[in-house]
Amino acid sequence: MDLELNETQRLIQRTARDFATRVILPQAHDLDETERFPREIMKGLAELGLLSINVSEGLGGSSAGVVAYSLAMQEIAAACASCSVMMSVTNMVGEAIERFGNEEQRARYVPRLASGELVVGSFALSEPDAGSDPAGMRTTATPDGDGWVLDGAKQWITGASYAGVIIVWARTGSLETHPGTRGISCFLVDAGSPGLKIGKPEDKLGIRASDTVPLELERCRVGGGQLLGGMHGGFKIAMMALDGGRIGIASQAIGIARAAIEESVRFAKERKSFGVPIAQHQAIQWKLADMQTELDAANLLCMRAAWNKELGRPYSREAAMAKLFASEAAIRICNEAVQIHGGYGYIREFAAERHLRDARVTTIYEGTSEIQRLVIARSVLA
């Protein structure tokens, strides 16, 4: 594994950093306060090619690779975690359609996700009673003439109020004939499809400018050409997409944690106690040393997972380790950042409290820490 970045990776990192600091960061506080969907920022990310980093150039993507994707995610997350989660899910959706879709589906959706015409992509797997165990889903897809009728409910769906296309998972085989994970397929559902109802956005602890909604599917009709991948093959598509998604969330956690460290360093150099800047106190120095060490360890795990994926090697276990460690480290780091800020860390005026609130979700979505441990343990015991 080469720890030196190549020219393309540097370019993507620089491009993302420039956009993040110049355009996103000045709005981050307001976006969090107002919970406003950052439409113009998502458009800007699309224009820079950051919504389709792993999509091939022939389909409008940047084809820059997984390491570049992780670096870009870190930069955007450091400025605004809400923007970065929608960037991550859109990349995941575009990549899944390119990988599992047929020619027509690829041509219809991938370039429009890359260009921002579809605003964002959305990934509807979880249900009110099926989060960590998606095989327990109850949403069904029933053949209807030359298409399908979807019925059920989805929950915690990122970006769905604005998404031009949503990948929706549904049961196509009964539990009797297709037990466990076997009877699940996935469908490309266009925004505005009849019977697709977008629920009220959740009032969240963090990532408040990202849209998180429940969906209702009431006799939602989609054409026969909307089945993505093979019949009953949906569970594996979800698992493979989530393996890549976990690199995205690890990168998000790293970006948030890096921002928290940078805020802490700045604050510690300015804030005085006992006659000196608090950065001169060993109590603060040791905190910063531990925070930076954890951040670097998270980054190395994440780079290894990204590197493996980029080279076409197995990477499920590495992605799970990266997400597990980076997300838990991010919470510890952000918590210490609040502590270093003292009372200032507890008020909205300083970014430290936003970073802690934003970091909190990273151990929950795209597989909780407990699920990552399960994936890792199965691979250790195999």
Closest CB to ligand CAA among 168 and 291?
A: 168
Residue 171 near residue 142 (C-beta atoms within 8 A): no
Identify each DSSP E strand in 292-365 by its residue range.
Answer: none
Judging by DSSP bridges, how do beta strands 272-273 and 147-158 pair with one another? unpaired
Binding letters toward ligand CAA, positions 105-124, x by CB under 6 A: ------------------x-
Q: Which of 104, 122, 176, 187 is nearest to 149 (CA)?
A: 187
Residue 243 is a binding residue for ligand CAA (CB under 6 A): yes
Residue 329 CB partners (closer than 8 Å, separation 6+): 253, 257, 294, 295, 297, 298
φ, ψ (nearest 5 deg) of residue 287: -60, -50
The verdict on 135 binding ligand CAA (CB under 6 A) reads yes
- Tell me the C-alpha distance between 82 and 87, whole Å: 9
What x-and-dash track marks residues 192-231 binding ligand CAA by CB under 6 A? ----------------------------------------
- Smallest distance from ligand CAA to CB 323, Å: 9
Largest CA distance in the chain: 79
Catalytic residues: 366
Closest distance to ligand CAA from the beta carbon of 236 (Å): 4
37 belongs to the binding site for ligand CAA (CB under 6 A) = no
Contact region for ligand CAA (CB under 6 A) — 75-83, 108-116, 240-248, 346-354? 240-248
Residues 113 and 90: beta-carbon distance below 8 Å: yes
Among 115, 140, 181, 339, binds ligand CAA (CB under 6 A): 181
Residue 176 dihedral angles phi and psi, to the nearest 5°: -70, -45
At closest approach, how far in Å is the CB of 211 from ligand CAA? 10
Q: Which of 132, 142, 174, 273 binds ligand CAA (CB under 6 A)?
A: 132
At closest approach, how far in Å is the CB of 175 from ligand CAA?
13
d(CA 314, CA 379): 11
Amino acid present at 85? V
Report the chain's terminal Cα–Cα distance, integer Å. Answer: 25
User: Is 371 a binder of ligand CAA (CB under 6 A)?
Assistant: yes
CB of 365 to ligand CAA, least distance (A): 4
Looking at residue 202, what DSSP letter applies? P
Task: Give the one residue of 52, 155, 316, 363 binding ligand CAA; rule: CB under 6 A.
Answer: 316
Q: Which residues bind ligand CAA (CB under 6 A)?
A: 85, 89, 123, 125-126, 132-135, 158, 181, 235-236, 239-240, 242-243, 316, 365-367, 371, 374-375
